[in-house]
Structure 1
Amino acid sequence: MNKPKLIFLCTGNSARSQMAEGLMRHHSGDIFEVYSAGLKAEGINPHAIEVMNEIGIDISTQKSKNITEYLNKINFDILITVCANADRNCPIIPGIKEKIHWGFEDPAAFQGSEGMQLANFREVRDFINTRIQNWLKINRPLYEK
């Protein structure tokens, strides 16, 4: 049986969607095929890699991708937008069975010292982590075989 395909969509696929991809893979095990993309690809923010490493999740090999790279190639079951811009401007993705919006602050837009920026990335990472874990508590039984 094919695993459901889940994609996180953000504006630049540099921080929130990248962290969500890594966290969902970590917490869901082998239940989903997990992807992330952006309305444009801006490269992964090094702070996202750093704060994920702090909790033992390596996203350094993930790549920043534009959603158009997947259109008409992968049939996604679940789409989760992680920012308002991506939610408003999401292209039509055929076959999506469930579209969810989880809005998170953009940690890359935070202005402040290096330490303050990292603290903000950690806060957003933790919000995403909690949301994913809570979602899985409810939804895991629906997808486990």
Structure 2
Amino acid sequence: MTATETTVFKDIEKVILELDPQSISEERKEVLQPLTDYIQEKVSKKAAIRINFICTHNSRRSHLSQIWAQTLATYFNIENVTCYSGGTEATALFPVVAETLSNSGFQIKTISEGKNPVYSIKYSENEHPIIGFSKKLTDDFNPKSEFAAIMTCSQADGGCPFIAGAEKRIPITFDDPKAFDNTPQQAEKYNERSIQIATEMFYIFSQIKA
């Protein structure tokens, strides 16, 4: 990566450099492969790459996946990637998710408050921030066609057998850190899930050949 190309914030880069993709099992790599193939096919065709990460409440795993995927696409200089997130229902981005990302070097500002706050999540000086808030997968903020739908929780995967407009529907599910809400392990477990997702997105984008 040359000095003129986009880079992520230094604190985020430190986290990325400590990721261990070797820790991903062969079984898990098979789960990740369809998304790698989808991205590679789009890159080879020089086509736009739209990825919508979907969970039940669009509050935790889908946001972590969206944000790390967008960040690592930039880190590996994969162009024309836009990552989205949505839920089968809208709730709110869980505040601990924002705290976890902030601790990893993301610059987060609250744009609007209320029951469903809107956040600006910035990962690079020169890239547009990700706008984070809970929304249904059909929200106007999300693409209507020519996208990959990534099911990040088993409940949404089972409950949404068909995603309108999706070219591909790929289950890549993660354990819910919500299980540790209001426990002494909360911060540790949210960070653990964030790092797992970052590691897997690193692995996916590191496979892509321009």
Moved more, 88-97 or 31-40: 88-97
- Which residue is equivalent to 2:60? 15
**Structure that is richer in strand per residue:** 2
Kindly indicate whether residue 118 of structure 2 is the aligned counterpart of residue 118 of structure 1: no
Moved more, 51-60 or 74-83: 51-60
Q: How big is the shift at 1:50?
A: 0.5
Judge conservation of contact 1:5–1:75 (CA < 8 Å) in 2: no
Alignment of 1:42-121 (within 5 A): 42-58=91-107, 60-61=119-120, 62-70=132-140, 74-90=144-160, 92-113=162-183, 115-121=184-190
2: CA distance, partners of 1:102 / 1:73: 19
Q: How big is the shift at 1:70?
A: 4.7
2: CA distance, partners of 1:49 / 1:41: 17
Match of 2:199 among 124, 130, 133: 130
Judge conservation of contact 1:23–1:57 (CA < 8 Å) in 2: no
Note the residue ranges of structure 2 that are not aligned, 5 or more in a row: 1-45, 109-118, 121-131
Judge conservation of contact 1:8–1:81 (CA < 8 Å) in 2: yes
Note the residue ranges of structure 1 that are not aligned, 5 or more in a row: none
Q: Which has the larger radius of gyration?
A: 2
- Which residue is equivalent to 1:33? 82
Aligned residues: 140
Please, what TM-score do these two structures have when normalized by structure 1? 0.84
2: CA distance, partners of 1:27 / 1:65: 23
> Secondary structure of 1:67's partner?
coil
Please, what TM-score do these two structures have when normalized by structure 2? 0.60
Q: How big is the shift at 1:136?
A: 1.4
CA RMSD between the two structures: 2.3
Q: How big is the shift at 1:112?
A: 4.8
Map Cα deviations across residues 31-77 of structure 1 (whole Å, 9 max, x no partner). 31110001111100010000111111246331111112259962142
> Secondary structure of 2:105's partner?
coil
